[in-house]
A and B are shown apart, each in its own frame.
With several copies, the nearest count.
Chain A
Amino acid sequence: MKKLINDPGDVIGEALLGIEAAHPDLAVDHTTKVVYRADAPVSGKVALVSGGGSGHEPLHGGFVGPGMLDAACAGEIFTSPVPDQMLAATKAVDGGVGVLHIVKNYTGDVMNFEMAADLAAAETGVDVASVVIDDDVAVQDSLFTAGRRGVGTTVIAEKLAGAAAEQGRPLSDVADVVKAVNANGRSMGMALTSCTVPAAGQPTFELGDDEMEIGIGIHGEPGRKRVPLAAAREVAAMLVEPILEDLPFNRGDAVIAFVNGMGGTPLIELYLMYNEVARIMNGRGIEIARSLVGPYITSLEMAGCSVTVVKVSDDMLDLWDAPVNTPALRWGV
């Protein structure tokens, strides 16, 4: 295992020390492993709490700050945080008008956030709402299964909800923004390599030199299918077409297009992929109103990418353009 770490058991704690040292606008509670806006709670503003397993950086800690999250709970690598963390965060960020939990749809995340919300209801008077993101078209949706995973749409949802909260919208409206983004967002990912959970010490799966995985999530897990390595333009088609057909996205729709790196793929390849993605969308008459290219929701050092497309209204575009000041997304300020 080749990683810039000390002890595999200390990775998250030490990375949080680094985040705190590098970003004076953030505060880190090292006992509960929660990253906060230094100025939390913001009175009169709906507060946003997210979190999940670590190993997806910058998600979620890198999205804490004005215009986005108020707190992010860091779980162990690829493991949902525990309810104590979400409960502590919920109490700390409540500005008097409620707290929204933004939860990615994984059994562990959903159950732990549920327990936290139960505890918050029992122990505090804080008004808590929860929204679950489940945008991964690689997974067959069904009432009888765990359903689709929450992946790239989470980034867009956190940005838009953060802006809505900053505008002073009430809890239910901010929750509706997340629901709207989720309803209109679809993603799909692929991997060229696996990744290694530090405590496991070896790659989660083995992949031949001429193979890739299509339909992966963000936890270094194998994907929906293993196929021969293909050119970027074919990879783009394998990711974009299922996305466009699923919602479906239609000619004339305005979208945010997001090409995400899984952690080990360099930016030059992500831009090359973005070119392929944009070409397909242009061919279908879909208008890319805004774009995002880079590693924003990663799977440790996995090489690969995911594509997220979110159909947007004018209100959603305004929320996207609104100022944001976080380590990983910053503009307008």
Chain B
Amino acid sequence: MSNAITLSALTAWVREFGALIDTHKDELTQLDSAIGDADHGINMDRGMAAVLAALDGEEFPSNAALFKKIGMTLVSSVGGASGPLYGTFFLRFGAACGDAAEVDPEGFAKAMRAGLDGVVARGKAEAGDKTMYDALAPAVDALDDAIASGSELRAALRAAAGAAESGRDATTPMLARKGRASYLGERSVGHQDPGATSAALLMRAAASALG
């Protein structure tokens, strides 16, 4: 496995995600003010701070062990909608990554798909509901396509991050059907979804830490 992604690279990805959340937390909360309850940045930052603290100094034997820790930490520290959703994403991602201490690009893409399926299983969101799904799903599709068509990991991750960002931007005109934004009905139109925004950061972190 020449171009395998190591456990420490995966850890770097999660750390980078935490750093991006920290930098963007006010923006995420701001977006959630408009169509939610003004806490998405606060929630994600509390969760990722807990994750980074949990990673510090601890050694993990495998992908599965690392991401179980990450997922459980998010579930136990975030609450709200994003806690179970991101928690489930990482738990499923880790389980699919397996008990090795590295994963090849195909395996990484499969694990991302498993994570996405976990989000759907938990939250029942569909395309166009104006949720994090609308950023994650195109990203996972783009990753699959790129890797299937033989792209390098670096290019594939950039394509995925770009797709996530386009997906995030596409949430703006959507009328929300899931999450708190759905309570606003027509008034949810014209605002970017906070969860799609944090999901795009997750993909951008992958592109910069793993690419």
Does chain A touch chain B in the assembled complex, meaning CB atoms less than 8 Å apart? yes
Residues of chain A touching chain B, judged by Cβ–Cβ distance below 8 Å, are 53, 75-84, 106-108, 111-112, 114-115, 136, 138-140, 142, 144-146, 149, 197, 199-200, 204-205, 217, 219-222, 224-225
- Interface hit among B2-10, B37-45, B57-65, B103-111: B37-45
Is the CB of B211 closer than 8 A to any CB of chain A?
no
Which of B34, B83, B122, B178 is the most central at the interface, judged by chain A CB atoms within 10 Å of its CB?
Answer: B83
Cβ of A140 and Cβ of B77 under 8 Å apart?
no
A200 touches B178 (CB 8 A): no
A46 to B187 alpha-carbon distance, docked (Å): 42
A197 to B32, CA, bound (A): 12
Q: Are B37 and A112 in contact (CB under 8 A)?
A: no
Residue from A106, A115, A146, A149 in contact with B75 in the complex, judged by beta carbons closer than 8 Å: A115
- If A82-B83, A107-B178, A146-B177 touch, whether A204 touches B33 (CB-CB below 8 Å) is yes
- Can you list 11 contacts pairing A with B, beta carbon distance less than 8 Å? A84-B76, A107-B81, A112-B83, A112-B84, A197-B38, A205-B33, A219-B37, A219-B180, A221-B180, A222-B34, A222-B187
Residues of B within 8 A of A146 (CB): 177-180, 182-183
Q: Which of A107, A115, A222 has the most CB of B within 10 A?
A: A107
The answer for the CA separation of A112 and B80 in the assembled complex, in Å, is: 7
Q: Is B11 in the interface zone, CB < 8 Å from A?
A: no
Q: Cβ of A111 and Cβ of B178 under 8 Å apart?
A: no
Cβ-closest chain B residue relative to A77: B39
- A62 and B182 CA atoms in complex are apart in Å by 29
Instruction: Please determine whether B182 and A139 come into contact, CB atoms closer than 8 angstroms.
Output: yes
- Pairwise interchain contact A204-B178, C-beta atoms closer than 8 A: no
Chain A residue with the shortest CB-CB distance to B46:
A76
In angstroms, Cα B84 to Cα A83, docked, is 9
Closest 4 CB pairs of A and B: A219-B37, A108-B80, A111-B84, A108-B81
Chain A residues whose CB sits within 8 angstroms of the CB of B75 once the complex forms: 82-84, 115
- Identify the closest chain A residue to B183 (Cβ): A139
Chain A residue numbers with a CB within 8 Å of B37 are: 53, 78-79, 197, 204, 219-221
In the complex, A83 Cα to B122 Cα: how many Å? 14
Q: A80-B79, A146-B178 are known contacts. Are A111 and B38 too (CB-CB below 8 A)?
A: no
Say if the beta carbon of B36 comes within 8 Å of chain A: yes
Q: Inside 8 A of B178's CB, which chain A residues have their CB?
A: 107, 145-146
Q: Are A199 and B39 within 8 A (Cβ)?
A: yes
Q: Is the CB of B29 within 8 A of A221?
A: no
* Interface: B66 (CB within 8 A): no
Complex contact A108–B79 (CB within 8 A): yes
Greatest chain A CB density within 10 A among B34, B38, B81, B180 is at: B38
The answer to whether B38 touches A78 (Cβ under 8 A) is yes
Bound state CA distance, A84 and B46, in angstroms? 16
Chain A: minimal CB distance from B152 (Å): 37
Contact yes or no, A108 B83, CB < 8 A: yes
A109 to chain B, nearest CB (A): 9
Q: Is residue B185 contacting chain A, with contact meaning CB distance below 8 A?
A: yes
A304–chain B nearest beta-carbon distance, Å: 15
Q: Known: A76-B46, A224-B187. Is A107-B180 also a contact (CB below 8 A)? A: yes
- B-chain residues with CB within 8 Å of residue A204 when the two chains form the complex: 33, 37-38
Is B184 in contact with A76, judged by CB distance below 8 angstroms?
A: no
A144 / chain B contacts, CB cutoff of 8 Å: 177
Q: How far does the Cβ of A331 sit from chain B's closest Cβ, in whole Å? A: 33
CB pair A81–B180 under 8 Å, yes or no, is no
A71 to chain B, nearest CB (A): 16
Q: Which of B79, B81, B85 contacts A82 (CB 8 A)?
A: B79
Inter-chain pairs besides A204-B37, A221-B183, 6 sampled, C-beta below 8 Å? A76-B42, A79-B43, A81-B79, A114-B84, A197-B42, A222-B184
Q: Using Cβ atoms and an 8 Å threshold, which residues of chain B touch A219?
A: 36-37, 180
CA distance A77 to B84 in the complex (A): 17
CB distance from B194 to the nearest CB of A (A): 12
- Bound together, the chains give a CA A78 to CA B79 distance in angstroms of 10
Q: Using Cβ atoms and an 8 Å threshold, which residues of chain B touch A107?
A: 81, 123, 178-180
By a CB distance below 8 angstroms, the chain A residues around B187 are: 222, 224-225
Contact between B39 and A115, CB atoms less than 8 A apart: no
Q: Are A224 and B29 in contact (CB under 8 A)?
A: no
Rounded to whole Å, the gap between the CB of B95 and the closest CB of chain A is 16
The B16-64 residues at the A interface (CB cut-off 8 A) are 29, 33-39, 42-43, 46
Residue B135 interfacial (CB < 8 Å):
no
User: Whole-angstrom distance from the CB of B137 to the nearest CB of chain A?
Assistant: 17
Contacting pair A217 B183 (CB below 8 A): yes
- Chain B 179-203 against A: per-residue CB contact (8 Å), 1 yes, 0 no? 1101111010000000000000000
On chain A, the residues within 8 Å of B80 by CB distance are 53, 75-76, 79-80, 108, 112
Contacts of A106 in B (CB 8 A): 81, 180
A138 to B183, Cβ gap below 8 A?
Answer: yes
Asked if residues A78 and B39 are in contact (CB atoms below 8 Å), the reply is yes
Contact with A along B73-95 (1 / 0, CB 8 A): 00111111111110000000000
